Amino acid sequence: MTDPASLTAATIATLAFQEFIKSGAGALAKKFTGEAIAKMKDLHNLIWNKLRGNPDAESVLANVVEQPAEEDIADIATYLKAAMKNDPQFAAQVQEIA
């Protein structure tokens, strides 16, 4: 099993936002347990709340909701990585959930 501390921002962003990328909850439910899905939602909310207020990040977040695309995850990962670097407490919260 992967140590959560070693998860990259890209991996974390993928976990947190893949529900928007997948076409339906059924596809997501086939891969993950209910507990894992709940944690992904917690992670999504934590990241969403942190990145709100950054106009560039908000634009990407809006894209994920309106027209989900895998390349948006890479953009979110970039903003997430910067936020984690600049806010160690936030980084610890993200790593704890992930």
Give pLDDT tens digits for 16-73: 776 655 544 455 555 656 676 677 788 888 998 999 988 989 898 888 877 777 788 8
The size of the chain, in residues, is 98
- Domain extents for the chain? 6-97
Q: What is the pLDDT of residue 22?
A: 55
Q: What is the pLDDT of residue 18?
A: 66
Q: What is the pLDDT of residue 20?
A: 57
- Per the CB < 8 A criterion, the answer to whether 97 and 44 are in contact is no
- Which is more confident, 18 or 98? 98
Cα separation, 39 vs 86, in Å, equals 23
Q: Tell me if the pTM is above 0.85.
A: no
Tell me which residue of 30, 51, 44 sits closest to 98, measured CA to CA: 44
Q: How confident is the model at residue 91 (pLDDT cuts 50, 70, 90)?
A: very high
Per-residue pLDDT at 3 exceeds 50: no
Q: What is the pLDDT of residue 5?
A: 42
Q: How confident is the model at residue 1 (pLDDT cuts 50, 70, 90)?
A: very low
